Structure 1
Amino acid sequence: MMPDLGKYAAEVVSAYAVSLGLLIGLVALSLRRSARLRDALRQVEDRQRKTNG
């Protein structure tokens, strides 16, 4: 399945692993920030509803 990478196999595989790790980290941080912002927006909207009655 995997192509023959010759003497650079370790470097190529490690580069793919680092890239994949960074992508996963960015997605995780984005999802976490999205959840925090959604909660903050919900709190602002709730306060606004209470004020406007």
Structure 2
Amino acid sequence: MTHLPYIIAAYGLTLGVAIVLSVNAALRLRRARARLATIERPGRAARTPGRPA
């Protein structure tokens, strides 16, 4: 009896989870950078809640 199918499945699952987490982190980083660029755009007036613009 060989343990090869179990070993391949374990490595495949680990690789799959690592890929999903990496892609998710990359997408979140891209969105965060886009939001930061919008916030830091020059000429944009800073608004404070409760204060008229």
- The TM tier, using the shorter chain, reads 0.7 to 0.9
With normalisation by structure 1, the TM-score equals 0.76
Deviating 4+ runs (over 2 angstroms): none
Letter in 2 for 1:13: I
- Alignment partner, residue 44 of structure 1: 39
- Give the alignment of 1:1-53 within 5 angstroms: 7-46=2-41, 49-50=42-43, 51=45
For residue 33 of structure 1, report the CA deviation from its aligned partner: 0.3
Unaligned runs of 5+ in 2: 47-53
With normalisation by structure 2, the TM-score equals 0.76
Letter in 1 for 2:19: I
RMSD over equivalenced CA pairs, Å: 1.5
Aligned residue-pair number: 45
